[in-house]
Amino acid sequence: MKIGFIGLGIMGRPMAMNLMKAGHDLVVCDHKKAAAEELISAGATFAENGAAIASQCDLCITMVQNSPQVREAVLGKGGLLETAKPGFTLIDMSSIDPVESKKIGSELAGRGCDMLDAPVSGGEPKAIDGTLSVMVGGKKETFERFLPVLKAMAASVTYVGDLGAGNIAKLANQIVVACNIAAVAEALSFSKKVGADPELVYQAIRGGLAGSTVMDAKAPMMIDGNFKPGFRIELHIKDLANALNAAHAVNAPVPLTGEVMEMMQSLKAYGYEKEDHSALARFYEKIGNVSIKGE
């Protein structure tokens, strides 16, 4: 299948590469052509904008930063809708506000085009090895049609409901992940402060009810003092902002989300926004005057 792909950042580039490995022909686009060099070398075609993609592809995937970037790629000057023909489908795999997903989908529907919102979870490592988790909203028949395409990038692809439901699920995921990381950081800093080895405490509790995928991924990073980004704090701030906006719109109480957001904002103020979200450990280290890192 000939597929357009817009957004070749940390996540988008390996996702696009996995589509090519699955045998798809790609037409790729990014504001920085250098981001596409690896894919071009592997056989992809570069397009200057979305309009150039939609003129030759019936399917395009977007993997960009947030709602405004998706809107620009679809509806802006040189966007997909300038040349999209009836029957064209957009799969937006960015993590954006579900309200915006519905609005953009409505614009596409008005031109006889379709849309799935299909945000991902798993970070750069799972994008590279093709084992992402994908949460999909949209028409069930459209989901089933493009399921093989999504499976080329993911180990888990789950249909959640109507358009927008994918991003609702992703925001719920980001709430759980953020609160879990904060809880792990709090537990490890507590352990160190009261005189126990955080590594031994981690090993003692990871096999019980407290154990989780988040703990196994992030506790070792905190103990090593390694905050090389797999998922940056600034991106999690973006997701939590979307979660808070969506929650406030329907009067859904999310007090834990609000608290973790403030922790991340304080780390941004200290200049740590480019670090991995496991750097929430730094927040506890600063306020508790303690170092989680092993000796």
- Phi and psi dihedrals of 120, rounded to 5? -120, 160
Contact in structure between 132 and 143 (CB atoms under 8 Å) = no
Q: Are 278 and 222 in contact (CB under 8 A)?
A: yes
Question: Distance (Å, rounded) from C-alpha 43 to C-alpha 106?
Answer: 34
221 contacts 275 by C-beta, under 8 angstroms: no
Active site residue 170: yes
Residue spans of alpha helices (H) in the chain = 12-21, 37-41, 50-54, 67-75, 98-109, 123-129, 140-151, 165-193, 198-205, 213-224, 233-249, 255-269, 280-288
Considering the candidates 32, 33, 77, 170, report the single residue annotated as catalytic.
170
User: Which residues, 6 or more positions from 148, have their beta carbon under 8 angstroms from its beta carbon?
Assistant: none
Quote the tokens at residue 181.
């990381």
Residues 6+ apart with CB under 8 A from 261: 178, 237, 240, 241, 244
* Rounded CA separation 158/135 (Å): 5
Residues 138 and 41: their CA atoms lie apart, in Å, by: 34
Question: Looking at the annotation, which residues are catalytic?
Answer: 170
